[in-house]
Amino acid sequence: MIDHRSPTDPATPGALPAWRAEIGALYQELDAEVARLGPICELSGRCCRFQEYGHTLFASAPEVHFLLGAAPRPQRPLDRGETCPWQDHHRRCTARDARPLGCRVYYCDPSYQDVGHELSERFIGRLKQLTKDHGLSWNYAPLHRHLEEERARGGFPIDLAHGDPAGLAEPRSGHRREASSTRDP
């Protein structure tokens, strides 16, 4: 089995593995299709506040490894799937170029829901075939479960067990917590 976290292809030192390049190309094609369809984004940040708005972001293992390999440092600690750790305090995505397929097709625009669902299913099928072609594990699960597993292996840069050392997370009241007083239960 391939080590998903490997930043390079062992056959070609310094090169990205073919599966990473293919996922990037698939994402570009998907982004172009979404742009062509033109769903409206209100910049509300609801897409990243999973629990508050009653949705769960699912991702495959290769998507998560692509995300962790290409995204900037998360903006907040893991919170058991309540929010996305890459949403900043302005409610914007800081991992936009590396975000999973589910993020790329999700829009609150009511006129886009049916076509968005069809687009999601079509591209998930292609992504699943890509993982099969490269002998990768599919492991389609909620993003937070993947990230919690990565954190346990030391692969997630903000540790839930130690709160929010940089003071990046926002408490539910909207006021920033002091970095020295943050501890998750």
Residues 134/26, Cβ–Cβ less than 8 Å: no
- What pairs with residue 9 in β-bridges? 12
Walk along the chain (185 residues) in steps of 10 and give the mean pLDDT of each run: 39 67 97 95 86 92 95 91 93 94 93 94 98 96 95 74 43 33 33
pLDDT of residue 87: 93
Residue 100 lies in a domain: yes
For 17, 85, 86, 101, 109, the CA distances from 72, given in Å and listed in that order, are: 20, 11, 8, 17, 28
N-terminal to C-terminal alpha carbon distance within the chain: 36
Residue 127 lies in a domain: yes
Residue 57 lies in a domain: yes
CB-based contacts of 110, cutoff 8 Å, min separation 6: none
Residue 63 lies in a domain: yes
Residue 110 lies in a domain: yes
Long-range contacts of 112-121 (CB under 8 A, 24+ apart): 112/37, 112/39, 112/40, 115/37, 116/37, 116/39, 119/30, 119/33, 119/34, 119/37
| Residue owning tokens 């917590």 | 177
Global pTM? 0.77
What does the DSSP 8-state code read for residue 93?
Answer: B
Residue 176 lies in a domain: no
pLDDT of residue 177: 31
Residue 15 lies in a domain: no
Residue 181 lies in a domain: no
The span from the CA of 81 to the CA of 148, in Å, is 9
| Total domains present in the chain | 1
pLDDT of residue 167: 44
- The residue segments making up the domain with residue 34 are 25-164
